[in-house]
Amino acid sequence: MSPLRAAAAVAAALPLLAAAATHTVTIENMKFQPEALQVKKGDQVIWLNKDLVPHTATAAGKFDSGAIASGKSWRWTAKSAGTVAYVCTYHPGMKGSVTVK
């Protein structure tokens, strides 16, 4: 393979290596699991409610899922670096965080 073709092959593979990941936060037993999550910019986070009651994933000024009914989910895409703390507005003792690198 010529050096030019090899470089083209590497360039074509780079987007596949940098593809966004999907992370799941399970809502169960009145907890966010995992409570703390680290992701990269462009990754998606899905909150999946396995409890019998609705919950929210709410970070003031950053995101608000609204009510996530039992058996339903909500998705958010990480766009900027930093740590975002969030709560369930129905159950304020339920807390979590997402750190975006």
Residue 13 domain flag: no
Residue 1 domain flag: no
Residue 12 domain flag: no
Its domain, for residue 28, covers 20-100
- Are 50 and 31 in contact by the 8 Å Cβ rule? The answer is no
Predicted TM-score (pTM) of this structure: 0.82
Residue 3 domain flag: no
pLDDT digits (tens, 9 = 90+) for 33-54: 999 999 999 999 999 999 999 9
pLDDT category of residue 11 using cuts at 50, 70 and 90: low
Residue 87 domain flag: yes
The count of domains in the chain is 1
pLDDT digits (tens, 9 = 90+) for 54-98: 999 999 999 999 999 999 999 999 999 999 999 999 999 999 999
Residue 64 domain flag: yes
Please report, for the domain that includes residue 47, its CATH number. Answer: 2.60.40.420
- Going across the sheet that includes 82-87, the strands are 36-39, 95-100, 82-87, 58-59, 63-64
